[in-house]
Amino acid sequence: MEDEVLGALKKCAVGLEASETVEEFGVEDGQLKLVKRKVTRRDIPPDIKAVKLLIDGGGVDGLSVEELEEERKKLLILLNKEEEK
């Protein structure tokens, strides 16, 4: 789990590219057919708080299990919000 948190933290610290695919389907001849597919790509800028945590804390080595779990939850919420935009 620590590797997952560190990986997510590093992604937030350096920024990342996210893509979202939206597909619309319609019914033709009683079958569902793909009518439209839209792929949106966008850059998510680096997060200064994540950079600070990596620099000040030396990564996640100094964090307790509870602190790691809390940081993981924050990062997942942040990533989900960015993907929804």
Kindly give the confidence (pLDDT) of every residue in the chain, 85 residues in length, as a single tens digit, with 9 standing for 90 and above: 677 877 888 888 888 888 999 999 999 999 999 999 999 998 888 888 888 877 776 555 666 778 777 877 888 887 777 777 6
What are the Cα distances from residue 42, in Å, to 13, 21, 84? 16, 12, 11
Q: In angstroms, rounded to a whole number, what is the distance separating the alpha carbons of residues 85 and 43? A: 11
Residue type for position 1: M
Entry pTM: 0.45
For residue 60, count other CB atoms closer than 10 A to its CB.
19
